[in-house]
Amino acid sequence: MTGENLLGVPPTLLNPDDGVAEALAAEPAGDGSNSRQRLEVIIRSFPTSSLVWALLSDEAFAAGEVIPSYAYARVGYHRGLDALRKGGWRGQGPVPWSHKPNRGVLRSLYALRRAAEAIGEADEVTRLTDFLQMSDPGAVAAIEAETHNTPEGL
């Protein structure tokens, strides 16, 4: 696959999650349970944010809590599908990582794929890998590079 949009479907560019980036930046960063508690406070204000659900999933996964990680990522995935549909997405076409508001959805897809792999759900891993590849062929590498450097991915 070349990464070209062979379908001719215009890319989906989500609107920013107003206030989420500011809330993530305003809350003091912690480690371990402090970080998860911080994210839980933020998600109460922004329950539709795929990004915050993905970050919760990352925290749980890093703590070795695969099932909670899967559950958080699953919520982020569904919130992301809602956002994509609201943004005009019809089940196909690019969702570019380069557009920052798309990153929460892509990170949720990545987190769900990672947790599904950890519990041995091979069919879902394949489906999510395909979804990520069709959305943006460079998304996985970008997520992996960014999550090693900045946990919030902002």
Q: Which residue range is the domain that position 119 belongs to?
A: 20-147
Residue 8 lies in a domain: no
Residue 2 lies in a domain: no
pLDDT at residue 36 greater than cutoff 80? yes
Burial of 52 from C-beta contacts in 10 A (0-12 / 13-18 / 19+): buried
Q: Are 112 and 70 in contact (CB under 8 A)?
A: yes
For the chain, report the end-to-end CA distance as a whole number of angstroms. 28
Residue 128 lies in a domain: yes
Characterise 117 by phi-psi region: left (phi > 0), alpha (psi -120 to 50), beta (else): alpha
- The residue-averaged pLDDT of 44-66 equals 97
Residue 5 lies in a domain: no
Q: Are 108 and 69 in contact (CB under 8 A)?
A: no
CATH classification of the domain holding 104: 1.25.40
pTM > 0.85: yes or no: yes
Overall number of domains in the chain: 1
pLDDT at residue 5 greater than cutoff 80? no
Residue 69 lies in a domain: yes
Residue 140 lies in a domain: yes
Residue 153 lies in a domain: no
2 — pLDDT class (breaks 50, 70, 90): very low
